[in-house]
Amino acid sequence: MSPRALTLPARVLWHAFFWTYERATWQYDLMVLAILAFVWLTPPGWLGDPVASGQPGLVELVLRLFH
């Protein structure tokens, strides 16, 4: 199946998982940002993190600053 036959969101997912881009391209930057967002924004408790569970996630920390 050619990725051109897919809708835009499906094409984005296709290219994200069937990765052919080089490092230091804008696609690579985007993937890095998505990974960092997952790592830092997911509350550790959601993943049952054996070391960091109970600690607040980044979103929670930012919210605390404003309350």
Partner 1 sequence: MTFTGAIGALCMFPLRLIISACVALGIHPNVLTFVGVLINVVAAWYLATGRFVTAGFIMIVANIFDFIDGKVATELGAVSKFGGFWDSVIDRFSDLALFIGLIYLYAERGRTDYVMITAIASTFALMTSYTRARAESLIPKCKVGFMERPERIVLFMIGAFTNRMAAVLWVILVLSIFTVADRIIHTWMELRRMEREAGA
User: What b/e string do you get for 30-49 counting C-beta neighbours within 10 Å, with b at 16 or more?
Assistant: eeeeeeeeeeeeebeeeeee
Using CB under 8 A, list all residues that contact partner 1: 17-20, 23-26, 28-29, 31-33, 35-36, 38-40, 42, 44, 47-52, 55
Shortest reach from residue 66's CB to partner 1, in Å: 21
Shortest reach from residue 64's CB to partner 1, in Å: 17
Shortest reach from residue 38's CB to partner 1, in Å: 6
Candidates 58, 60, 57, 59; CA nearest to 49 is: 57
Candidates 21, 23, 59, 52; CA nearest to 38 is: 59
In terms of CB distance, is 12 or 44 closer to partner 1? Answer: 44
In terms of CB distance, is 13 or 66 closer to partner 1? Answer: 13
